[in-house]
Structure 1
């Protein structure tokens, strides 16, 4: 049985955080290599795997941290209380990042990455604590089918039949705008990729992670890899087939997106488990994702705050970010390569930060 902390999960988490920081911080948003961009609307690029991978890992971590404790029913209320408090802290940090550095509440974006993680963590933990594995699978299926029905069958007031090809003609956009008005993503102001209704299927992504965690926690080590990869392949194929009629879409977090990205998450975890926990392959280079994987939240928060500061700190009549980027571009790189090198450089700077925490054995928990 797998009972100890698994290296593969830390490596998987670290790689996901690295990619998240990388795609969020190009030198120029006008010059990005296609794989490092989100799909324009329908579809899925490698960048579109980042957020669901992180939620999947959250689910795996829930299984690992609470699997034994949940067996004692008397402990469940206390575990849930801690989970709710942790989720609320994540939401609070997300709102802080949104307001930083000017704290202008008129421009506040209520939804966000950490806000979604916080909500999903609370609901997914509740489901895990009070449901067995069969019920968790049933809830997962119910969410996917119900969400498909809501997004495709419910008429939208003032619009009528939903149109999944138009971000303003879907139920999720209508609900987000009605509840949060202008406090949405600045790129649209009428809908939000981390909105309220689309958080429902994001819970399903985390439940997939919980199920994977239970498998790793309870199955014999010899069959874990095979089981994860087979399940992952089935999920990916199912998502692609269903995607013909219910498009794979990150901003809508469609049920097909849950299956497709969840499948790739299973496959990735299976491969990582085989490499790092079965074959015990652990070269020095794995220190990079391992350091990020042990302190993912603080790495993400510092990255977001640092990026905002670079935009507002003035230097020679421009922002600090633009000033550094132009110096780098004077070397003679192509626009895309220069933008990519800037992002890599930012990851390296953050690696120094998390490496210091790693060396001092400091793990910052929310």
Structure 2
């Protein structure tokens, strides 16, 4: 496989764009409702916000191509993969426990008990999917991985439809995934909002792994030979075909990020294939003079920037007992809502926060610090 710089640049830009959108979606400015496309679909449906998480899984799968290129035994590869997954899971768990204290309704501090700490989450899903995908790409050939992906989606559909109570296959509380989560994980360790539904539940890791494997297959195909418009077109047309197939399937299996349904997998993988093909065409094949440094900086330190964005938001909330209001809320309402009332102000507040996180990534880049697990 070749490994010239533009292809690395395309993947860095893809990851960086994903992280940028993830922070933007996760931190809407207070004081007004965000624009609808920046808010996750309530249950069924699809918005721009719903595209972010599966894209990060896709990007993580693409990186596996370069991990496999390093010479190592099966045992060493699996040990490294499981170690990385384990650390990622632990970081995700500690992030939910952080800052280990909470502000009570009467503006005092109290310890945040372990008994109330959520077990699952975004980084935890990344960890589980990475571990499952790493085993698959190590021991299976590309055609076998395609068959595996189809098998996973069929299995997940069958479990959801035939293992749930009649009429409850896609119900928020009584779908089979929710039943499994409540059976294996104490309620106090599950998501506390959205009627108690756990959006990163255990069973949903199966179809989410397909997003990772799709990223691996796409990147493997692109870097296995010199990139040409023809090869890029194959990826793009494949993406369009998958997205259209997903929309067709959604008539029978509704689009739902929270359930991570089969139609959701097909649509998001299809869109990611089109986006990746576009980036490779622009940066590697046509070599257009496009400035990509902004997103590359985020793409080279995605974990560090993401963790900062989450932990900074949690940390600033601790100021409320001293200031009477969370700083981010005050800034959003008193500054950005005055500048641009409504969704525009909410967006501007989130954008400024995202740019502040980018600045942290830029400082790491200037120092040549790259956080890897």
Q: Matched residues in 2 for 1:110 and 1:313: separation?
A: 26
Deviation, structure 1 residue 313: 1.5
From 22, 37, 43, give the equivalent of 2:24: 22
Q: Report the Cα distance in structure 2 between the residues aligned to 1:88 and 1:282, rounded to whole angstroms.
A: 40
- Give the C-alpha shift of residue 68 in structure 1: 5.7
Say if 1:127 and 1:347 are closer, same or farther in 2 by CA, change over 3 A.
same
Structure 1 position 190, deviation (Å) = 3.1
In structure 2, do the counterparts of structure 1 residues 272 and 115 end up closer, same or farther at CA, with 3 Å as the change threshold? same
Question: CA offsets, 1:114-164, max 9 Å, x none?
Answer: 00001111110000001111111111010011111111122x3xxx21424
The counterpart of 2:120, out of the listed 105, 111, 128, is: 111
Q: Are 2:322 and 1:322 aligned?
A: no
Distance 1:95 1:10 in 2: 26
**1:2 shift after superposition:** 3.8
Offset at residue 311 of structure 1 (A):
2.0
TM-score (norm 2): 0.92
- Give the TM-score taking structure 1 as reference length: 0.93
Unaligned runs of 5+ in 2: 102-111
Give the 3-state SS of the residue equivalent to 1:110 in structure 2: coil
Question: How large is the Cα RMSD of the aligned pairs?
Answer: 1.6
The 1:29/1:149 distance shift into structure 2, 3 A limit, reads farther
Is 1:236–1:260's contact at 8 Å kept on the other side of the alignment?
yes
Question: Shift of the alpha carbon at 1:111?
Answer: 0.7
Match of 2:4 in 1: 4
> What residue number does 1:358 align with?
365
> Where does residue 308 of structure 2 map in the other structure?
302
Greater than 4 Å deviation, 4+ residue runs: none
Distance 1:357 1:18 in 2: 16
Higher RCO (CA-CA < 8 Å; seq separation 6+)? 2
Of residues 133, 143, 147, the one that matches 2:142 is: 133
The alpha-carbon distance between structure 1 residues 260 and 250, as it changes in their structure 2 partners (threshold 3 A), is same
Contact 1:109-1:185 at 8 Å conserved across structures: yes
Give the secondary structure class of the aligned counterpart of 1:216: helix
> Structure 1 residues 287 and 133 mapped into 2: Cα distance closer, same or farther (>3 Å)?
same
Query: Is the CA contact 1:153–1:162 (under 8 Å) kept in the aligned structure 2?
Result: no
The aligned residue for residue 245 of structure 2 is 238
Q: Structure 1 regions of 5+ residues with no counterpart? A: none
* Pair 1:343 & 2:350 matched: yes
Shift of 1:319: 1.3
The answer for the alignment partner of 2:266 in structure 1 is 259
Task: Tell me the residue number matched to 1:196.
Answer: 202
Cα contact 1:140–1:207 (8 A) shared by 2:
yes
Cα offset for 1:17?
0.2
Aligned counterparts of 1:258 and 1:295: Cα–Cα separation in 2 = 26
Q: Quick one: which of 59, 64, 67 aligns to 2:61?
A: 59
For 1:12 and 1:91, the matched residues in 2 are separated by 23
Q: Structure 1: how far apart are the matches of 2:357 and 2:144? A: 41
